[in-house]
Chain A
Amino acid sequence: MALPAQKQDATDARLASMTLPESGVWAKTAREDALSRVTAMGLPSARDEYWKYTNPASLVAREAPEAALHENDAVPLYDGIDRLKVVFVDGVFDAEASDDLTLEGVEIERLAEVSQMDIHWAKDLYGVLETRGQKPVERPMAALNTAYATDGLVIRATGQVAKPIALIYRHESTTSDAILHHVIRVEEGADVTVLENGPAAARFNKVMEVDVADKGAFHHVRAQGRDHERRANTHLYGRLGTESVFKSFTLTANGRLTRNEVVLELLGDDAQAHVAGAALGDGDFHHDDTVFITHDAVNCESRQVFKKVLRNGAVGVFQGKILVQPDAQKTDGYQISQSLLLDDDSQFLAKPELEIYADDVACSHGSTSGAIDEDALFYLRSRGVPEGPATDLLVLSFLAEAIDEIEDEAIADDILSRLEAWLARRRG
């Protein structure tokens, strides 16, 4: 079927400015397939139902809109945590700044190198989960990524990985347009933690595909911020085997436009998937969490906990879906999306969805928008805590359920202090 003219034009314009990277046999095939998916679907437009609340124009545009640089934090996030650092500057691997990629329990390679080989195991994963995730909802920005990404990591965890792998995304050029694609295979019984931090680029398109085998565990904590003008569209895919665990938490502070999509398939019995996010926006801020979790096995649990704190006209979007297939009995699905609106100018748009075809399941969902609880505020102030810090405490209280989803205490503490610092700065 022909695409609408406007969509066709926008897609042609973007693709005309790009060339498929030189690749070895397997990657060349993956890229060409991805490109044909993009041309068939067309890039998203504001008229698409799935993009109703977030205008994709600046993500699709031929050129990345400029984004001013932001001073980096004096003490980087995760600084106190023993980790393997992998640095990308404007989407390009920086060997100088990175640690040696050797680590016990895991093989870490670069997509830039792996994609030049004719045969590599990555072919079974690169673009594979992205392709599966094109149904029932199209995600053309992810297919665009598969076609054009030149850098990223190819990770295979084979055991208990000795320490977290920390991906650090530096933004040093005001016009950088970065596309990164990571694939992560967690083998049976293996356990790996991946951390992400940094604004990455003026415009950032990132895909992470994670395949967790039986009894494997994947832990993911990321922080996006604090560049005010950054735009980002990320996709996190997960495929879960029997008794596997997938846990992801995202902290987002600032950023003009962020859309984080999470697409998970629970394919093995007794698997567990938790995704959580805390977003803080002040002013020119648009943050969209779009989550799609498919239960296709027995006795699996999924949790979605998303909280947004919005002020001065900031906009928060949540589109979250739980799809329970006919055979996915004993599914335990939970979804909560909440916003704390600190003034009358901010907006929260929520579209929670449940689609259930099995008859023995427990699924619950809730969505709320509210202001600061005046009783609680007065209680704190009556104990001598001034209004500013008291409000901050209540913001932290509001976000606590999401932050509690971070299992590692040291990492949770680090995220919490980042949050506290952000709040204190806002207070001036």
Chain B
Amino acid sequence: MLEIKNLHVKLEEEDKQILKGVDLTLEAGKVHAIMGPNGSGKSTLSYVLSGRDGYEVTDGSATLEGEDILDLEPEERAAAGLFLAFQYPVEIPGVGNMTFLRTAVNAQRKARGEEELSAGDFLKIVREKAKSLKINADMLKRPVNVGFSGGEKKRNEIMQMAMLEPKMCILDETDSGLDVDAMKLVSDGVNALRGEGRSFLVITHYQRLLDHIKPDVVHIMADGRIVKSGGPELALEVENNGYADILEEVA
């Protein structure tokens, strides 16, 4: 599904190398987690993959189902099936959540040459998906993320994911700012979307989230590289001993 090879990335504004050769292969239907200390480049990886400005790829490649995505615009990557759940979802006053969702869904359908959803069909699907994420009608009517609690914002991200049905989902510290109940709700939402063909890259600091969203593979990232990969037990090791041992071991 997602193939990252020798990815080198620096900040455009300052001459600072953030990613220093990331290699990662994520098969269809699998869930991989990336853990790592602050400043290791986890969030940069998610931004570079989704096409945020301000980063320059100096070497390497990233392909989604064999197609190079690094030259695509963010919206083209989205239409190709990539989705980033933001660590800090952006508030957009004056734009209704529902309008935003419909615009996004139909823009992607249009880009893929599919017919746009009618207002009726759209409403039906929204209601269905909102219910399972406990997103009420009021949240759908309000402006995007405005006045939402941390938990509501993250649920709204998963709501968008559910509506857009991407193939490749990147979750950037989705657990940050969530209490236990909200984390369960969000995880249930993600788990409901797990299935044949849909892959997840879960970026997190803590093992806790991985109790709910069980990964197939765990990677440890440090200083712009993936330094160790393993099974779910690797996350437990981090939880118990911190990163120091692992970093020492690979140094």
Contacts and interface: CB of A to CB of B under 8 A. Distances in A.
Nearest to B99: A393
Contact of A393 (B95, B105, B108): B95
A384 B93 contact: no
A400 interface: yes
Residue of B83, B93, B143 with most chain A CB atoms under a 10 A cut-off: B93
Contacts of A396: 94-95
B78 A381 contact: yes
Contacts of A119: none
A382 B144 CA distance: 15
A397 B145 CA distance: 13
Residue of B79, B92, B105 with most chain A CB atoms under a 10 A cut-off: B92
Contacts of B107: 383-386, 389
B73 A383 contact: no
Contacts of A393: 92, 95, 99-100, 103
Contacts, number: 81
A383 B160 contact: yes
A379 B103 contact: no
Interface string A366-402: 0000000111101111111111011001101111110
Q: How would you classify the secondary structure of chain A's contact residues: helix, strand, loop or mixed?
A: helix
A419 to B, nearest CB: 12
Contact of B108 (A373, A384, A399): A384
B86 interface: yes
Nearest to B109: A384
B17 to A, nearest CB: 22
B52 A384 contact: no
Residue of A387, A397, A400 with most chain B CB atoms under a 10 A cut-off: A397
B3 interface: no
Nearest to A397: B94
A120 to B, nearest CB: 45
A381 B93 contact: no
Nearest to A398: B94
Interface in B205-226: none
A397 B104 contact: no
A399 B92 CA distance: 12
B123 interface: no
A387 B94 contact: no
Given A382-B51, A382-B74, A386-B73, A400 B93 contact: yes
B90 interface: yes
B129 to A, nearest CB: 15
B75 A381 contact: yes
Nearest to A392: B103
A397 B93 contact: yes
B147 interface: no
Nearest to B112: A384
A224 to B, nearest CB: 22
Nearest to B104: A383
Given A378-B53, A389-B103, A383 B93 contact: no
A373 B92 CA distance: 10
A393 B52 CA distance: 19
B116 to A, nearest CB: 12
A387 B76 CA distance: 11
Contacts of B73: 381, 386-387
A374 B53 contact: yes
Contacts of B79: 384
B111 interface: yes
B31 to A, nearest CB: 21
Nearest to A404: B94
Contacts of B74: 378, 381-382
B174 to A, nearest CB: 15
Contacts of A398: 94
Contact of B50 (A382, A387, A390, A400): A382
B195 interface: no
B89 interface: yes
Given A393-B92, A394-B92, A397-B95, A386 B75 contact: yes
Interface of B: 50-53, 73-75, 77-79, 83-84, 86, 89-90, 92-95, 99-100, 103-105, 107-108, 111, 143, 160, 164
11 contacts: A373-B90, A382-B83, A382-B84, A384-B79, A384-B105, A386-B73, A389-B103, A389-B107, A397-B92, A397-B94, A400-B93
Given A378-B74, A382-B84, A385-B107, 17 more contacts: A375-B90, A380-B92, A381-B73, A382-B75, A382-B77, A383-B100, A383-B104, A383-B107, A383-B164, A390-B75, A393-B92, A394-B92, A394-B95, A396-B95, A397-B92, A397-B93, A397-B143
Interface of A: 373-376, 378-387, 389-390, 393-394, 396-401
A-B complex: 9 closest residue pairs judged by Cβ atoms: A400-B94, A384-B78, A384-B108, A397-B94, A381-B74, A383-B104, A379-B90, A384-B107, A386-B75
